Structure 1
Amino acid sequence: MMSGNINSDEALFSLDIGTRTVIGTVGVVRDKKFHVISEKFTEHEERAMIDGQIHDISLVARAVNKVKSELEEELGFKLEKVAIAAAGRFLRTTTVKSEINIDDDKEIDKELIRSLELTAVKVAEEEVNKNTVGKLYCVGYSVKNYFLNGYAISNLLAHKGQNITAEVIATFLPRSVVDSLYAVTKKVGLSVTNLTLEPIAAMEAAIPQNLRLLNLALVDIGAGTSDIAISSNETISAYGMVAMAGDKVTEAIARACLVDFNGAEKIKKQMDSKKEVDFVDVLGIENTVSYDEIIKIIKPVVEKLSEEIANKIIELNGSKAPNAVFLVGGGAHTLLLKDLLAEKINIPEKRIAIKGRESVTDCVCIDNNLGSTGVTVLGIALVAIKKYGGDFIDVFLNSSVVSLFNSKKNTVMDVIMQAGINPKVLIGRNGNNIRFKLNGSKRVSFGKIGKSAIIKINGLLGSMESDIRENDKIEIEFSQNGENAKAVIKDYVKDVNSIGFYLNGEIQNLEPIFIANGEKTDINYEILDGDDINTIFSQTIGQYKRYVNNNINVEYYINDEKLSDDYIIKEGDKIQSKEKLNENMNVKTIDNEKNTSIENKNEISSEVLNEEKVKYGAIEVVVNDKKIILEGKKEYVFVDIFNYINFDLTTLKGRIVLKLNGEKAGYNNILKNGDIIEARWE
């Protein structure tokens, strides 16, 4: 004992308040190790706690006060401060999915991934809040799966897509739990200097920091609950709890052997070292139970316990087995547990180890008789020694105070989560793009680039992953979304100059015609996503007839010389027009007023003429159930038919319908001999 030379100010008092027992340890730091100078242990007089939950504050306070008084008597000074831990029983864990739509032209970066995770944690908090009253503190989360455009992917970084999803398991601690623990300590005259979580404390004691690079699971099997912590990448990545532990095994023995709970507990403990155990049942009859009989009694319960623990470990660890599993707590020595747990997790039994006090390298103990039961109380002390601070730390976020549960290394991301900030305001989205077709070619008008949030810590640039400490001043300039793309036809027309010419002595101008989704529009039309835009510039006599004058029965002349439909109108041309005579309209339907004999004669002549024209590069098509011959060009496109039919494009009469051989057509579709064409307004 070193207590005679110990100053009360340098002594550290840690307390493990369990379902069946209370363990108090007092020690000091010497040579960077925690030296235990006094330790006391007691059991609750009654079942004041069930499954880790305080049911009777007065009864729990009585047990705590007994331990405290015995320690004070042995040490010779009063204990006023204590380090404690909240049981895993109080943790609220849930699994959720959250998705966000992203710009498919932008690579996914770390900030976007963090924003996705934050969104998922926020959803998880809302889910837990449905069944929990009061404030919650997020004490940890881990990502089970990422998805890109609906497909699972191991890493989103640097990919592109339209949609990303994260499946997250998050753990929360209700503030009410902290209040109930404080009520017990206050009742016995103690103030709390540090509050941690039991899984963290057990991890601190059993798994040194240098081993946490490995993916390990630690299970603290107590009387009422089995607390679980997962380590990876030098941190504790997830927590969980199974509401089943050693008491379930004791209850099975009590029922089978007809003894009370305490009697069953004695049988269970003695069976670890004996082949047979004698006991007296509730009827006063002396009995003997063998090892094999006990195994038969407890196997179904232990199998269920191992299955629950294994499933929770795999769930917390992202649906995969860890590299190894460490067991601590009074229930760690439960018969059959190691074998069955190895089988359920599907790892070799040698990768499951029971950690006792002798393996806690940072502690020097008076004795190690408590074994794995006394590991967590040492961890509580070690967490306090590392000076994580009090149970909460305060930081300033945009001048407002935010309190964080101080169970781990906190980051800006933790502050954002606790402050309830919507993660969407942290990532600036680019404005929506507009995709459309222009004269058959795909075009894109890009939205403006968004501005991501700017994070400063004490005036210096930081990120969501930056570490924060007590009283840090965090300033966040929230993101700004980029403006959506805006596009008008005139932005994509390089030359809109008109051609001026004289027609019958009057000035005329040829200007471009614009068609949006089959309907005539103007140069200032605002293009929408998915639009089909076509521009037509009437430069020839044929195009002028079709799109401007809308009359193919007019002939045009310069100096009494007839102009063909292919003639390109030039600036300053002086053109005269004359109505075409009926006898020259060989491609029009014969006037119904003519007699039958003349009609038949003309039809025969027309057929012969058509055959001749087809031979010399002309093609025959059917437009709106009438035969038309196109001539004078090597190749014809859909728009050429308007030079040969009476169809007014200059006056809007609804939505234009264009079909080629029964299929939807565009102005630039190539025509072939015999094509069936439909052009109409609807």
Structure 2
Amino acid sequence: MEKQNISVGLDIGTTKIVAMIGRKNEYGKVEILGVGKSKSLGVHRGVVNNITQTIQSIQQAVQEAEVTASEKIEDVTVGIAGQHIRSLQHSDYITRANSELVIDEDDIDQLINQVHKLVMLPGEEIIHVLPQEFKVDGQAEIKEPIGMYGGRLEANFHVVVGQVSSIRNIGRCVKSSGLELEGITLEPLASANAVLSQEEKEAGVALIDIGGGTTDLAVFKDGIIRHTAVIPFGGNVITEDIKEGCSIIEKQAELLKIKFGSAWPGENKDNEIVSIPGLRGRDPKEITLKNLSKIIHARVVEIIEQVYVEIKNYGHEEQKKKLIGGIVLTGGGSQLKHLKQLVEYITGMDTRIGYPNEHLAGDSDDDIASPLYATAVGLVMDGLKRQDRKAREAQEELQLEEESYDDTESVEEEQVLESEPKERKSFLDKLTERVKDFLDNAE
């Protein structure tokens, strides 16, 4: 099998680290060849706080994936999230030197580079600059200004900001695990690619990815990402509450949550009791399921309300910005019983659970199509897309070289034709290069 067609997603989470190997089959769907999973020990709320433990966990997950897929892993696409990620809206403009020429890629790049010069807090860096809509000479709501005439080019941007040290730490862990960084992707974007359909992104949808340490939000409308946020609460806080509220150990609290937990207290009758073995010779504890779901309910309501504040910040209550597609829940925390009903009750928006099976090959394992693996599937897809782009660019260069043997006039025409569909380099590709350079120089 060609090495080229394989992509590896590495999801470094607070509770688990997943390495997933996939490739495209002949129908353009993603076929998962192997999955490795290990307990994440050195990550807190999406941020690495113990490099040695994180490296061990990554190596364990990678090894497991290599064994199941009988493939050697060299390059990985890594997701970044964590409580240090925040986003802001920003407007900027440039005045073009010559309004007689049509607007091209360079003008847009110049405008984007200008946004990159925004002054951030110490230690923060701009990760993502996403143009929302453009204005040319005051004419608003332009989706694609390339090819138009105009003197003043203006745009609204969605700017995602993160702490550069946290991103470098993740890069360090990956490199020290003996792997190469192929790409870096924002985790809410990866999850969105795995579980949302294009129609939903057009209609307007909020993706809520409830992980162990953080809850990620990505809002789409008209096919463009409009808002992102990371809330520093996740499934672990619920487990912590159960542990404190019922005076039991964490392992038991986690099992209780998964097996008997519900986000809706009205579901449980007063006489439903679960007995938990006591510690070493002590009497077993009896816990009523009603109390258990009251503890879970209180914390889940808090998480959902914080997410809803972010959705309102985007402007969901304005008629023009209404999210017709409602809410899609994914991530391990979305498997909590009756969560969908509670989210609908709090927000009044249509809700569904997002499974990453839309892009997976038909014969995929049911376990992989669980919301638990949404981010990992998204990262594999992102890696495959990046490979396609590289292959296309290499193909274009080859064509140009062949053409250069012909006379120069036809070469010029060819270059004009070639340059039109060329994709702009994504900011995350640039970020990946910067992190790679930093790691190379730091050693």
Alignment of 1:465-614 (within 5 A): 468-469=424-425
Deviation readout 1:542-590 (Å, 9 max, x if unpaired): xxxxxxxxxxxxxxxxxxxxxxxxxxxxxxxxxxxxxxxxxxxxxxxxx
CA deviations on 1:502-527 (whole Å, 9 max, x unpaired) are xxxxxxxxxxxxxxxxxxxxxxxxxx
The SS at the match of 1:244 is coil
1:215 to 204, 208, 214: 204
The secondary structure found in structure 2 opposite 1:39 is: strand
Q: Are residues 1:130 and 2:121 paired? A: yes
Query: Partner of 1:547 in structure 2?
Result: none
Question: What aligned pairs does 1:237-636 form with structure 2 within 5 A after superposition?
Answer: 237-272=226-261, 276-280=273-277, 284-317=282-315, 319=317, 321-323=322-324, 324-347=326-349, 351-361=350-360, 364-368=363-367, 371-387=370-386, 468-469=424-425
| Deviation readout 1:217-275 (Å, 9 max, x if unpaired) | 11111011111112222233332211111112111101101123222111101115996
Deviation at 1:176, TM superposition (A): 3.4
Task: Say whether residues 1:78 and 2:72 are aligned partners.
Answer: yes
TM-score by length of 2: 0.70
Residue of structure 2 in register with 1:87 after alignment: 81
- The letter of the residue matching 2:312 is I
Alignment partners' CA distance in 1, 2:283 and 2:3: 52
Q: Who is 1:233 aligned against?
A: 222
1:121 to 1:91, Cα distance in 2 relative to 1, 3 A: farther
Provide the rounded CA distance (Å) in 1 between the counterparts of 2:356 and 2:80. 21
Aligned match of 2:440: none
Distance of aligned partners of 1:15 and 1:137 in 2 relative to their CA distance in 1, 3 Å threshold: closer
Structure 1 residue 385: deviation in Å? 1.3
Quote how far apart the aligned CAs of 1:296 are. Answer: 1.4
Contact 1:90/1:173, CA 8 A, preserved across alignment: yes
The letter for the 2-side match of 1:379 is G
Q: What amino acid maps onto 1:192 in structure 2?
A: L
Contact 1:272 1:335 in 2 (8 A): yes
Amino acid of the residue matched to residue 287 of structure 2? V
User: Shift in Å at residue 363 of structure 1?
Assistant: 6.7
How far apart, CA to CA, are the structure 2 residues paired with 1:264 and 1:121? 49
1:343, distance to aligned residue in structure 2 (A): 3.4
Could you say which residue in structure 2 is the equivalent of 1:140?
Answer: 130
Q: Aligned residue for 2:36?
A: 40
Distance 1:372 1:228 in 2: 15
CA distance in 2, matches of 1:9, 1:259: 49
Compared CA separation, residues 10 and 98, structure 1 to 2 (3 A): closer
The alpha-carbon distance between structure 1 residues 468 and 70, as it changes in their structure 2 partners (threshold 3 A), is closer
CA distance in 1, matches of 2:250, 2:169: 27
Match of 2:56 among 49, 59, 62: 62
Q: Structure 1 residues 309, 336: CA separation in 2 closer, same or farther (over 3 Å shift)?
A: farther
Give SS of 1:277's match.
strand
Question: 1:290 deviation in Å?
Answer: 2.8
Secondary structure at 2:10 match in 1: strand
Give a deviation string over 1:77-120, Cα, whole Å, max 9, x none. Answer: 422122221125442323567899xxxxxxxxx99xxx9xx989
Task: Give the whole-Å Cα distance in 1 for the aligned partners of 2:118 and 2:374.
Answer: 35
Cα contact 1:139–1:173 (8 A) shared by 2: no
Aligned counterparts of 1:155 and 1:29: Cα–Cα separation in 2: 36
Q: CA RMSD in A?
A: 4.3
- How much does 1:325 deviate? 1.0
CA distance, structure 2, for counterparts of residue 211 and residue 362 of structure 1: 21
The two structures have a TM-score, normalised by structure 1, of 0.47
CA distance in 2, matches of 1:467, 1:318: 31
| Contact in 2 for aligned 1:28/1:37 (Cα 8 Å) | yes
- Give distance in 2, aligned partners of 1:35 and 1:91: 31
CA shift digits 1:270-318 (9 cap, x unpaired): 1159964332456844123232111211222111111011111222356
**Kept after mapping to 1: 8 A contact 2:36/2:65:** yes
CA contact (8 A) 2:227 2:314 kept: yes
Task: Pick one of 20, 43, 49 that aligns with 2:43.
Answer: 49
Residue pair 1:16, 1:22 contacting (<8 A) in 2 also: yes
Partner of 1:203: 192
Which has the higher Rg, Structure 1 or Structure 2? 1
**Matched residue, 2:433:** none
Q: How far off its partner does 1:76 sit? A: 3.6
Structure-2 residue corresponding to 1:504: none
Query: What percent identity do the matched residue pairs reach?
Result: 20
Q: Higher helix share goes to which structure?
A: 2
CA contact (8 A) 2:21 2:69 kept: no
Superposed CA deviations along residues 126-172 of structure 1, whole A, max 9, x for unmatched, are 45x12434x433343658xx9xxxxxxx9699xxxxxxx99865322
Instruction: Look up the SS of the partner of 1:387 in the other structure.
Output: helix
1:646 aligned partner: none
Structure 2 contact 174–181 (Cα < 8 Å) conserved: yes
Matched, 1:15 2:5: no
Higher strand fraction (1 or 2): 1
Q: Distance in 2 between matches of 1:119 and 1:376?
A: 31
**1:179 Cα deviation (Å)?**
2.0
**Structure 1 runs, 4 residues or longer, greater than 6 Å off:** 97-100, 118-125, 154-157, 165-168, 388-391
Contact kept, 8 Å, 1:89 with 1:227, in 2: the verdict is: no
**Are the aligned partners of 2:47 and 2:166 in contact in 1 as well (CA < 8 Å)?**
no
CA distance in 1, matches of 2:425, 2:31: 28
Amino acid across the alignment from 1:329: G
Contact 1:240-1:316 within 8 A present in 2 as well: no
Does the aligned pair in 1 maintain the 2:194–2:375 contact within 8 Å? Answer: yes
Pick closer, same or farther for the CA change 1:364–1:175 going to 2, 3 Å. Answer: farther
Alignment of 1:87-166 (within 5 A): 87=81, 89-95=83-89, 126=118, 129-133=120-124, 135-140=125-130, 142=132
Aligned to 1:28: 23
Q: Aligned to 1:302, what secondary structure does the other structure show?
A: helix
Post-superposition CA distance 1:407-441 (Å, at most 9, x none): xxxxxxxxxxxxxxxxxxxxxxxxxxxxxxxxxxx
Q: Deviations over 1:421-464 (max 9, x none)?
A: xxxxxxxxxxxxxxxxxxxxxxxxxxxxxxxxxxxxx779x99x
Q: For residue 45 of structure 2, what is the amino acid of its counterpart?
A: D
Determine the C-alpha separation between the residues in 1 that align with 2:386 and 2:303.
Answer: 35
Give the secondary structure class of the aligned counterpart of 2:341. helix
Bigger Cα displacement from structure 2, 183-192 vs 27-36 = 27-36
Deviations 1:18-60 (A, max 9, x none): 110011212222121111122122212x4x1111001111111
After superposition, the Cα gap between the structure-2 partners of 1:74 and 1:287, relative to the gap in structure 1 and judged at 3 Å, is: same
Larger RCO, structures 1/2 (Cα 8 Å, 6+ apart):
2
In structure 2, C-alpha distance between the alignment counterparts of 1:237 and 1:121, rounded to whole Å: 20
Q: Deviations over 1:462-498 (max 9, x none)?
A: 99x995359xxxxxxxxxxxxxxxxxxxxxxxxxxxx
